[in-house]
Structure 1
Amino acid sequence: MLISAGPGLTESLDWIARYQHQFFILACDTALKPLLRAGIRPHGIHILDAQKQTLLHFLNEDLSDMVIFADLVCHPALPLHLAPAGWVFSSTARLIYRPDGSTEELKTPGTDLLESMCGAQGKLQSGGSVATSAFDLLRFLGFRTIYFAGQDLAWTFRQLHALNTHHYERWNFMVSRTLSLETINERVMQKRDLVPVPSVDGKSIPGDFILSLYRSWFEQSIESLKHEDPVKCINLSRSGSQIEGMQNLRIENPDALPEMAKNPAMTATDSTSAANASRVTNGTNAELRTELLEAFKDARKRDESNTPLLQSIYQSLLDLLYGEATATEAEVVWQRYPELRALIRRTEVYISRNQEKLSEERASSVYRTNLKKSLTQFLRFINRYI
């Protein structure tokens, strides 16, 4: 089951709590707090956002029996401050299709360096939201029937998120005699260009361009998988936008039973998955959680083998900062660590576009000034984490 933090999640919580032991539950980071408040403990949590504010989704929560699946772009403060049972990292696969039929993969900057240190990293496709990446993750984990909750992709009840998310915790401190939660929600909503979209109940509901992009990604993915690797998608929400290709289970009957007996959540493609499917179908996933956590029992032991390389990178940047910081000196560092060229990429583009206007001396001065500024900010940032 993939659980997002759309407004419709609030109504689905009782149903999820009733049948939670029949599912492997993967929660998007924003949905964690509403689930825990309802007594639902997911097996895994997926993170895609690179902002430090992602920490707010986990503040003061016990993660000891959960695994965090995170994109490589997640903020480095998260592994430092969070203590789940284990971490699984991946990168986002970006494929460009050429007119000649060939494809090119655009890697997240730093992936090559990371793989040289830690080995090959898995890749997930993404439609831009954490839920789209989480859907691809569940496919790779072997699930061929996936239940969705909180996947509204619309402004259900004129709200963007379910109750008890960290957004409401923050907004509660803003509430006053002249400022209500409804007003705060409405102000957020009015900043978006709203358009009506079809809802699961046959009516229309406010949506916007961004949410429609996510919905289109799901619809195209479900359709494209039909002929290659079909995935049955079941929507538990009784509100939100209509997502073509998803079966709406609870529209007519809010208490409809999950289809576990005749269509297990995990397709038995081999003996191992068959055993897991049997346990899920029989009404308990306790053993499945135990097996999941077993793989991470030694994960808390910090690997120091890459420390010399990290220190070498840090020292190279430090020497560059306190040296002349010329383009020639910098090029030596970029050749050794190509990913670090991102620190000066914008300046290089600026100089290239304005080379007819800039004298050689002026271009060199702009390069040194911006490089030192960029290095100062970067070293101050990474000094907290290495």
Structure 2
Amino acid sequence: MAAERTETVKVALGERGYDILIGHGLLARAGAEIAARLPGVRAAIVTDENVAPRHLPALIASLEAAGIAATPIVLPAGEKTKSFAFLQEAVDKILAARLERGDVVIAAGGGVIGDLAGFAAGIVRRGMNFVQVPTSLLAQVDSSVGGKTGINTAHGKNLVGVFQQPRLVLADTDVLDTLSEREFRAGYAEVAKYGLIDRPEFFAFLERNWREVFAGGPARVAAIAESCRAKAEVVARDEFETGDRALLNLGHTFGHALEAATGYDGSRLVHGEGVAIGMALAHRFSARMNLASPDDAARVEAHLVAVGLPWRVSDIPGELPDAERLLGYIAQDKKVSRGALTFILTRGIGRCFIARDVPASEVLSFLREHLGG
């Protein structure tokens, strides 16, 4: 399996460019791939309690076979690990292992671990080498690519962090078979996002082939590779999110507000589910603002329903804050500049754009309508 169709996507950032490898059996090749790019390094592997029993032994064995000594750092699983407390724990253990600036921090996990480990790599010794080994679909297609790292605070999601590009991303599609159905679906929301932003033909491909993506056929590798290409192109144009990289936030402004409103309680709402609801809301809000046809919003909602993702605010279990409080979370989100509300809206499937100075009164009215479903 190891030789079967490995796709390589290049992130073009000059001397800081790197490869994303996508395919079967890459976990077993991790040591060789890292040693080829970073000869003579030692490693810290940051992972979590869910991923460690499934994949840590194979990763350590692969590293040791390539002559890379590794120190595992196992943290609790879940969004609440993206905190100052666990960042400090990771940093302390990297330092206790006496790793140097030229050594490497490997993130083996989903988006939470990737964000936290990348932040630690960015600040320990003013910047260490960093490698992503994403084990969730969401991480493989989104958070592992592009160098955005960070943690959450009581004020909101991802408000503290640094840009720390990895030296390599290894997306082993076999590890996705160990995900729960819910985790895989949540990651799929980010796959669909790339089609909705500016790849209408990709969204149509997903509408036809999503079952094979879920089942693990060739469409899975194709969908992950296309998602990575989409993100890599945007990152190469706008590494630090000062321009059109903000398009990648489709669904995230609403989604992050809903995550904050649930207290980042993964039993109620995980990130990809928040993005799914956020994308549906963004398309519905665009129709309300007479920017797009309601038929486009209905098409997005129909696809989310087909794959089993939530699409309405009322799909979130438990009580939610009122519309005014949700608007407060939106205003705190990092996609706000000088108090003006910024959203990614759309003129149709695959025709998203950055909308600045969106009237808060319109958003508030819209939220009031949708809090009841």
The TM-score, its normalising length taken from structure 2, stands at 0.25
The structure with the larger Rg is 1
Q: Which has the higher helix share?
A: 2
Structure number with higher relative contact order (C-alpha < 8 Å, ≥ 6 residues apart) = 1
